[in-house]
Amino acid sequence: MAHCRTWARASHACVGARADRGLAAEGGRTVNEPATGQLLSVDSLTISVGQDLVLVDRISLDVAEGETVGIVGESGSGKSLTLRAIMGILPSTLRVDGTINFSSTVDGSQTAAMVFQEPSLALNPTLRVGRLLQMTWRRHHPGCSDKDARAAAITLMSDVGIAQAESRFSAWPHELSGGMKQRIVIASALACEPRLLLCDEATTALDVRVQAQILKLLSVLVEDRGLGMLFVSHDLAVVSLVCERIIVMNKGTILETGRTADVLADPQHEYTRALLDANLSRRLSMVHNEGETS
């Protein structure tokens, strides 16, 4: 089975980069099976560069089966590095210590897939979108025929809300809107049949109406498929819409964590209160309204 790091480097079309069980230890990092019921368990993850620059400092987090967890914090707080460490796609210049425990399927594969921020960059402009999904499906379903993989790709396109999926199979990325492109990116992640979806600012590049539609889609997919999701965003309003639990990060450390409703109603840390700025309630109702009308 191809390793996700090889796959992620091989082509920027591989938007559904996937983490497999049994990754080799890197620095002081080990990857094992987590406790029953947990899809992912991260213990004391530390990411550093050079002799003494610590970018992520001993953070621990869990995602249970079917649970949606958000990591929120301003730019530079270490959210993306954390997700990339979990996926095993950090640059080799960074040192990773700590423990990452991954749940896996019986054959030890298909555990986590990642959705990146910018769909225009994530999709290979020279690859028709249906063909990308067909190739991704075949990569993760060895022995599947071209015809069956094409059918699976069209089903995935329908699943992520692309109308007339069959005729759009041959579309180029540039022929699709930003929202459609992100739907293809999500479909590509689903082609790995993950149990855990890692989303890195998955709606940040989209306008607010499309953002609401994609958030709604992610919520439906996660619920229907019983997936766990780790959703990273700098936007607390966005995270609170799709996550049951929130982790607040700043400067590489976790400041607080709790049920979404609790964190919103009674933030324990001054930094969290700052994130809950005067615009939050207005923005929340705006996003909720957009979600309802989409």
Ligand X SMILES: Nc1ncnc2c1ncn2[C@@H]1O[C@H](COP(=O)(O)OP(=O)(O)OP(=O)(O)O)[C@@H](O)[C@H]1O
Which of residues 201 and 290 has its CB atom nearest to ligand X in the complex?
A: 201
Of the candidates 46, 77, 182, 272, which one interacts with ligand X according to CB under 6 A? 77
* Residue where the block lists tokens 């229907």: 224
Amino acid at 193: E
Nearest approach, Cβ of 239 to ligand X (angstroms)?
13
Is 55 or 247 the residue whose CB approaches ligand X more closely? 55
Binding of residue 49 to ligand X (CB under 6 A): yes
Q: Show contacts with ligand X in window 169-228 (CB under 6 A).
A: 201
Diameter over CA atoms, the chain: 56
112 sits in which H/E element: strand 112-115
Instruction: Give the number of other CB atoms < 10 A from CB of residue 169.
Output: 18
Contact between 9 and ligand X per CB under 6 A: no
Q: Exactly one of 17, 42, 55, 133 binds ligand X (CB under 6 A); which one?
A: 55
Task: Enter the tokens of residue 224.
Answer: 């229907």
**Region of 91-99, 100-108, 181-189, 238-246 interacting with ligand X (CB under 6 A):** 91-99
Q: Which two tokens stand for residue 164?
A: 């007339």
Cβ-based neighbours of 9, under 8 Å, separated by 6 or more: none
User: Closer CB to ligand X, residue 49 or residue 220?
Assistant: 49
Give the pair of three-digit tokens for residue 228: 């766990």
Distance (Å, rounded) from C-alpha 20 to C-alpha 18?
6
β-strands 196-200, 228-233: how paired?
Answer: parallel
Smallest separation (angstroms) from ligand X to the CB of 57? 11
Q: Which stretch binds ligand X (CB under 6 A): 23-31, 78-86, 267-275, 276-284?
A: 78-86
Q: How far is the CB of 246 from ligand X (least distance, A)?
A: 15
Catalog residues that contact ligand X under the rule CB under 6 A: 49, 55, 73, 75-81, 91, 93-94, 201, 234
